[in-house]
C-alpha cells in the first residue's frame, strides 16, 4: 500500500469518526440536561480551550499565538468567528435539551445549501443549474415547514446561518484550522470563566457542590468532545477530496434526525415529513452535481 493510499484511508476514517461523533452528540448533551444550557456552553468553552491550547503549545511551542496574530486583520476576524461559533453552540445545546433534536438536524441539512447562497452573495461564485434547483427546493421545504407545520423553523435556520457565516469568516481568514480554533477559544475563555463564576455565585452552577461527580466529569469530557472532531476534521480535509468530505458531512445530521425520531421520540408527522423530503431531494441533487463536477475535473487533464 502506497503512502498516498494510507493517508487517504486515514483521512477517510478520521472524517467518518468526526461526523459520527457530531451526529451522536445529542445523546451526550442529553445526559447533561440537569445543567443550565449556558453553563454547559461555558464549560465547553473552558475545557476545550485548555485542550486546544495545550496541544498547540506541545506541537508549536509558546510562539504559536504571536505567529498566528501577526497576520493582518486576523485578530478581529477570529473574534467575529468566535462570536458566531459560540452562538451556534449555545443555540444547539439549548435546542437539544429543549426537545428539538429533529429541528437541529434540519439546520445542518440546510447548512451546505446556505453555504452555496453565501458564496454567491459574498464571494461572487456562480451556480450551475442543478445548484440553483437545489437551493430552490430547499427554500420550498423551509417555506412548507413554516406555513404547514405551524411555526417558523428559527432554530434550524439560526444554526444553519450561524455556522455558514462562521465558515465564511474562516474561509476569508488566512489561518490554519487548529491555530485559528486556538485563538477563537482564547477570545471566549474569559467570558466563559466569567459566566461560570456568575453561575456559581448566583445558585445556577453546581460544579463544586450540587451536580455530583458524574455530571462534573461529563462537563470536563465535553470540552474534549468539542475539540476532537474539529481537529479530526482539519486533519481529514488535508487528505481527502473536498467533494468526498462534502458528501460525508451528511452523516451527522442524518444521525441526529434518527436520534430525534427513534430515541427522543419527537413528533414527526406528515407535514414535517413533506418539508424534509423537499430538503433531502435538494441535497441529493446538490451532492450528485458536486460529484459529477469533481469527476469531470479529474478526467479533464487526461483528455
pLDDT in tens, 197-206: 888 887 777 7
Between 135 and 257, the more confident residue is 257
- Residue 96 C-alpha cell reads as 437539544
Question: How confident is the model at residue 271, as a pLDDT?
Answer: 83
- Global pTM reads 0.83
Question: How confident is the model at residue 300, as a pLDDT?
Answer: 58
Q: How many Å apart are CA 287 and CA 164, to the nearest integer? A: 17
Percent of all residues in the chain with a pLDDT value above 70, rounded to a whole number: 94
Is pLDDT above 60 for 303? no
**8 Å CB contact between 256 and 101:** yes
pLDDT digit string, tens, across residues 130-184: 888 888 888 888 888 777 766 788 999 999 999 888 888 887 887 887 888 899 9
- Per-residue confidence at 294, pLDDT binned at 50, 70, 90? low
Which contacts of 55-61 are long-range, i.e. CB under 8 A and separated by 24 or more positions?
55/178, 55/227, 55/231, 56/178, 56/179, 56/182, 60/179
- Per-residue confidence at 260, pLDDT binned at 50, 70, 90? very high
Is pLDDT above 60 for 86? yes
Question: How confident is the model at residue 87, as a pLDDT?
Answer: 94
Segment among 106-110, 124-128, 151-155, 252-256 with least mean pLDDT? 124-128
DSSP 8-state assignment for residue 199: H
Q: How many Å apart are CA 200 and CA 265, to the nearest integer? A: 33
- Per-residue confidence at 188, pLDDT binned at 50, 70, 90? very high
Q: State the burial class of residue 58 (Cβ atoms within 10 Å of its Cβ: 0-12, 13-18, 19+).
A: exposed
Question: How confident is the model at residue 121, as a pLDDT?
Answer: 82
Compute the average pLDDT of residues 13-42. 90
Between 37 and 240, the more confident residue is 37
Three-state DSSP string of 4-41 = HHHHHHHHHHHHHHHHHHHHHHHHHHHHCCCCCHHHHH
Percent of all residues in the chain with a pLDDT value above 90, rounded to a whole number: 28
- Residue 16 C-alpha cell reads as 467518518
Least Cα distance to 138 among 153, 119, 120 occurs for 153
Q: How many Å apart are CA 164 and CA 153, to the nearest integer? A: 16
Rounded to the nearest 5 degrees, what angle is found at the Cα of 160, between the Cα atoms of 154 and 164?
140
Rounded to the nearest 5 degrees, what angle is found at the Cα of 181, between the Cα atoms of 177 and 187?
150
Q: Which helix (H) or strand (E) holds 172?
A: helix 154-172
Amino acid at each position: 500500500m502506497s503512502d498516498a493510499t494510507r493517508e487517504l484511508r486515514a483521512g477517510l476514517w478520521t472524517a467518518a469518526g468526526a461526523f459520527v461523533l457530531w451526529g451522536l452528540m445529542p445523546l451526550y448533551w442529553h445526559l447533561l440536561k440537569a445543567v443550565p444550557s449556558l453553563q454547559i456552553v461555558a464549560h465547553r468553552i473552558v475545557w476545550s480551550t485548555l485542550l486546544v491550547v495545550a496541544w498547540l503549545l506541545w506541537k508549536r511551542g509558546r510562539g504559536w499565538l504571536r505567529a498566528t496574530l501577526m497576520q493582518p486583520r486576523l485578530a478581529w476576524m477570529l473574534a467575529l468567528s468566535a462570536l458566531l461559533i459560540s452562538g451556534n453552540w449555545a443555540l444547539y445545546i439549548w435546542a437539544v435539551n429543549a426537545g428539538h433534536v429533529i429541528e437541529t438536524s434540519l439546520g445542518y441539512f440546510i447548512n451546505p445549501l446556505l453555504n452555496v447562497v453565501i458564496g454567491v452573495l459574498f464571494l461572487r461564485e456562480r451556480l450551475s443549474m442543478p445548484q440553483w434547483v437545489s437551493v430552490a427546493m430547499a427554500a420550498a421545504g423551509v417555506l412548507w415547514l413554516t406555513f404547514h407545520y405551524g411555526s417558523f423553523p428559527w432554530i434550524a435556520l439560526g444554526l444553519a446561518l450561524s455556522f455558514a457565516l462562521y465558515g465564511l469568516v474562516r474561509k476569508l481568514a488566512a489561518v490554519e484550522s487548529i491555530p485559528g480554533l486556538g485563538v477563537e477559544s482564547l477570545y471566549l475563555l474569559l467570558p466563559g470563566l466569567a459566566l461560570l463564576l456568575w453561575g456559581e455565585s448566583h445558585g445556577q452552577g453546581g460544579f463544586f457542590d450540587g451536580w455530583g461527580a458524574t455530571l462534573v466529569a461529563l462537563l470536563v469530557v465535553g470540552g474534549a468532545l468539542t475539540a476532537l472532531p474539529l481537529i479530526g476534521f482539519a486533519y481529514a480535509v488535508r487528505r481527502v477530496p473536498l467533494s468526498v468530505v462534502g458528501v460525508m458531512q451528511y452523516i451527522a445530521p442524518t444521525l441526529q434526525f434518527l436520534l430525534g425520531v427513534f430515541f427522543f421520540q419527537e413528533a414527526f408527522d406528515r407535514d414535517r415529513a413533506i418539508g424534509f423530503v423537499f430538503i433531502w431531494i435538494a441535497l441529493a441533487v446538490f451532492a450528485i452535481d458536486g460529484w459529477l463536477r469533481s469527476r469531470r475535473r479529474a478526467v479533464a487533464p487526461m483528455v
